[in-house]
Amino acid sequence: MTHPELTLTESRPFQTQRRDTWWLQPLAVFVGLGLFVLYGLFRVFEGNHFIHGPYLSPLYSPVLFGTEEVMHSVEHSWFGMMPSWMPGFITPAVLIMWMPLGFRFTCYYYRGAYYKAFWADPPSCTVSEPRNNYRGEHSFPLIIQNIHRYFLYIAIIFLGILAYDVWKALWFDDGNGGTTFGIGVGTIILAGNVVLLGGYTLGCHSLRHLVGGVVDLLSKVPIRRQAYNCVSCLNRRHMLWAWMSLCWVGFSDVYVRFIVPSIGQDWITFF
């Protein structure tokens, strides 16, 4: 039996026989990611208000170089003050945000989502594209997306750094030059951020391949099999983890930037 050959060039852009609201999901992704990008750009280049008390915004962690404008930023910094020769638009966030953003940008889930939402490639399943050729990810520039695995290694290190920030968010100024243990709303928010980012990062497709790939019989390697099952479990809801963690990163920053300065002290100390 022969099939008539279907090609994209025979269709008008966005032509489809679908009757459902297929455009709703790409539109929601466009709005959601677009808002995050706009807010992220504002915050990354603002270069200010990223520390309040013991709380450090995840958009600025780790602080490689502190700045004069932000009190205590040098105490958090790894290498002291920002060098004077550094151009003004280079904020502490600019120096590090390319790493978590690179991880998200090359994520298998996000790729599928923003290809549809931002350049309609394709707009959705069985909806024709507004172009007549497709070069895919086998050629430049999208072949660069294969770098995702290396961003995964960095993202795992970032998880450790953000967990350490939660530890530091447990120690509050005691008013006598020392610190005292306590828990604040901000501490809980930053801890929630690590949990959600952990769910997203540890459910990565590349990690699943790393822990479960190569061996022929996974059942013969019980530890790897267990790890594979754990990663697979998170991977099943990768999209959900991706969105929850993205929203929570933004919310954590909003809390440190806008909310806690306006409400003053938000913590309870125990000693």
Helix pair angle (148-168, 185-201), 10° resolution:
160
Q: Decide: is 23 part of the binding site for ligand FES (CB under 6 A).
A: no
Q: Which is nearer to ligand FES, 75 or 137 (CB)?
A: 137
Q: Give the CA count within 13 Å in the CB-facing half-sphere of 53.
A: 29
Least separation, in Å, of the C-beta of 204 and ligand FES?
A: 3
Q: Which is nearer to ligand FES, 135 or 237 (CB)?
A: 237
Positive or negative, the CA dihedral 181, 185, 187, 191 is positive
Least separation, in Å, of the C-beta of 78 and ligand FES?
A: 25
Order of strands across the sheet that contains 171-173 = 171-173, 179-184, 267-269
Q: Decide: is 109 part of the binding site for ligand FES (CB under 6 A).
A: yes
Phi, psi angles (nearest 5°) of residue 211: -85, -25
Among 33, 51, 93, 107, binds ligand FES (CB under 6 A): 107
Q: How far is CA 175 from the centre of its chain?
A: 36
Kindly indicate which of the ranges 72-80, 92-100, 198-206, 219-227 contains the residues binding ligand FES, using the contact rule CB under 6 A: 198-206
Q: According to CB under 6 A, which residues from 212 to 241 bind ligand FES? A: 238
Among 14, 98, 105, 108, binds ligand FES (CB under 6 A): 108
Alpha helices in 143-204 (DSSP H): 148-168, 185-201
Kindly indicate which of the ranges 34-42, 72-80, 106-114, 226-234 contains the residues binding ligand FES, using the contact rule CB under 6 A: 106-114
DSSP character for 213? S
Kindly indicate which of the ranges 37-45, 49-57, 90-98, 204-212 contains the residues binding ligand FES, using the contact rule CB under 6 A: 204-212
Q: Decide: is 59 part of the binding site for ligand FES (CB under 6 A).
A: no
Among 72, 168, 205, 224, binds ligand FES (CB under 6 A): 205
Residues in contact with ligand FES, shown as a per-residue x/- string from 110 to 149 under the rule CB under 6 A: --------------------------------------x-
Q: Which residue has the tokens 């447990």?
A: 170
Question: Residue 179: which H helix or E strand, with range?
Answer: strand 179-184
Among 206, 249, 253, 266, binds ligand FES (CB under 6 A): 206
Alpha helices in the chain (DSSP H): 24-46, 73-76, 92-105, 108-119, 148-168, 185-201, 205-212, 222-235, 238-254, 260-263
Q: Which is nearer to ligand FES, 77 or 206 (CB)?
A: 206
**Other C-beta atoms lying within 10 Å of the C-beta of residue 214:** 10
Q: Which is nearer to ligand FES, 148 or 257 (CB)?
A: 148
Q: Which residue has the tokens 């602080």?
A: 63
Residues that bind ligand FES (CB under 6 A): 107-109, 148, 152, 204-206, 238
